[in-house]
Amino acid sequence: QKRIGALPGVERVDFLPRETVFQAQADESALDVTGIPNFMPDTLNVRLSDADAAKTVTDTVRGFREVEEVQAMDAELQTLLRLGRVARTVGLVAGVVLLLAALAVVANTIRLSVFMRRREIKIMQIVGANASFIRLPLLLEGFLHGLGGGAIAALTLWGMGRYVAGLVTGNLPQFAPYTTPVDFVAVTGYLLLSGAMLGGTGSVLAIRRYLKG
């Protein structure tokens, strides 16, 4: 147990005595095992901190003389790893596209707002209002647009996360105990902050054409 726990990529190793394993199998199969001899061996449940290390850990453990059999669910794990890589790639590309699209939308919205108020802005400039006084409401408008977009993104991400987690636990229930919950509060804060910064950037880009100095 200690040797396996010291391997790179291993988070925890739990020892299950043969009696516990036998009872768990009996409970899962819902059969009456009264009088049936216990044929189950002592078992070690290995939890990984890095899924990419699964093959290396499995091959290493199979080489231990004390280990009779290793059940690693290689096919299911490789499927999950492939899905994870595809999801990361798609998410990265989609994130960049959505970032540029959001920046363009905010900039065009503020630009339209400036254009609609061009006479008011010109009058304020004539009477001596400085550029900062004129910019502030437009910057706040951009921040609010960004905050709204961040809130929508957070709700969408929360819904998609619950849907994907349901798919994984429904189709691969053996991986349910190893799913890691996401800190939704931290993610929401990050998205709101990013949205506000994005909205402010779009506002600055939009009003530079009309307000100099």
State pLDDT tens for residues 10-31. Answer: 877 877 777 777 677 666 666 6
Question: 3-class SS at 49?
Answer: coil
Furthest-apart CA atoms within the chain: distance in Å: 98
Of residues 123, 118, 163, 161, the one with CA closest to residue 138: 118
pLDDT of residue 26: 67
Question: pLDDT-based confidence at 206, cuts 50/70/90?
Answer: confident
The model's pTM is 0.52
State pLDDT tens for residues 37-94. Answer: 766 777 777 777 766 777 787 778 877 877 777 777 666 667 777 777 787 788 778 7
State pLDDT tens for residues 150-202. Answer: 888 788 877 877 777 777 666 666 555 555 566 778 878 888 888 888 888 87
Question: 3-class SS at 184?
Answer: helix
pLDDT of residue 213: 47
What element of type H or E holds 154? helix 131-171
Domains in the chain, CATH or no CATH each: 2-72 (3.30.70.3040), 76-207 (no CATH)
Q: Which residues contact 54 (CB under 8 A, 6 or more apart)?
A: 9, 48, 72, 74, 77
- Contact status, residue 44 vs residue 64, Cβ threshold 8 Å: no
Contacts 24+ apart (CB under 8 A), 171-179: 172/76, 172/80, 174/73, 174/76, 175/76, 175/80, 178/47
Of residues 152, 157, 142, 146, the one with CA closest to residue 187: 157
Q: How far is CA 127 from the centre of its chain?
A: 51
Of residues 78, 198, 203, 205, the one with CA closest to residue 147: 198
CA gap 4, 12 in Å, rounded:
9
The phi, psi pair for 105, rounded to 5°, reads: -65, -45
Query: In the predicted model, is pLDDT for residue 139 greater than 70?
Result: yes
